[in-house]
Amino acid sequence: MGCAFTQKIVKLSKMLISMGHNVVLYGCEGSDAPCTEFVQTHTLSEIRQVWGSGDNRFEIGYNWKTEGFRHDFNQARIVVTRKYYAVATEEINKRKGDDHFLLLTQGQYQRPIADKVKLYLTCEPGIGYRGSYANWRAFESAYLMNFTYGGQYPKASVDGHYYDRVIPNYFDEKDFPFCEKKEDYYFFIGRLIRRKGVYTAIRTVQAIGGKLFIAGQGSLGIRPQAEVYDFKGIEFVGYVEPEERAKWLGGAKGVFVPTVYLEAFGGVNVEAQLCGTPVLTTNFGVFPETVKHGVTGFLCNTLQDFVDSARLVGELDPHAIRKHAERYLMKNVRWEFDKWFRDLYQVYLSSRFSGTIKGWFHLVGENRND
CATH for 214: 3.40.50.2000
Shared domain check, 275 and 154? no
161 within some domain: yes
Give CA–CA dist 273/3, Å, rounded: 20
76 within some domain: yes
244 within some domain: yes
DSSP label at residue 329: B
Shared domain check, 231 and 320? yes
Give CA–CA dist 28/44, Å, rounded: 7
Shared domain check, 151 and 185? no
Shared domain check, 9 and 120? yes
356 within some domain: no
Last residue in a domain, options 114, 138, 166: 166
First and final CA of the chain: distance in angstroms?
Answer: 34
345 within some domain: no
Q: Which of 191, 179, 138, 137 is closest to 325 using CA atoms?
A: 179
Shared domain check, 201 and 297? yes
170 contacts 156 by C-beta, under 8 angstroms? no
Shared domain check, 307 and 232? yes
Shared domain check, 227 and 141? no
366 within some domain: no
* Average pLDDT, 10 consecutive residues per value, the chain (370 residues): 89 96 96 95 95 88 88 93 98 97 96 98 95 96 96 90 96 97 96 90 95 87 51 87 96 97 96 98 98 98 98 97 98 97 94 78 67
Last residue in a domain, options 166, 200, 233: 166
Shared domain check, 225 and 105? no
Shared domain check, 105 and 44? yes
DSSP label at residue 300: E
The model's pTM: 0.91
> Which positions ≥6 away from 27 have C-beta within 8 Å?
9, 33, 38, 39, 40, 41
Residues counted in the chain: 370
CA dist list (Å): 288 to 46, 79, 282, 367: 42, 41, 8, 36
353 within some domain: no
Last residue in a domain, options 166, 196, 215: 166
Shared domain check, 52 and 142? yes
Shared domain check, 17 and 132? yes
- Show the domain range for 280: 173-327
pLDDT at 65: 86
Shared domain check, 227 and 102? no
228 within some domain: yes
Say how many domains are in the chain. 2
Buried-state track 278-288, b at ≥16 Cβ within 10 A, e below 16: bbbbbeebbbb
pLDDT at 253: 98
What does the radius of gyration of the chain's CA atoms come to, in whole angstroms?
22
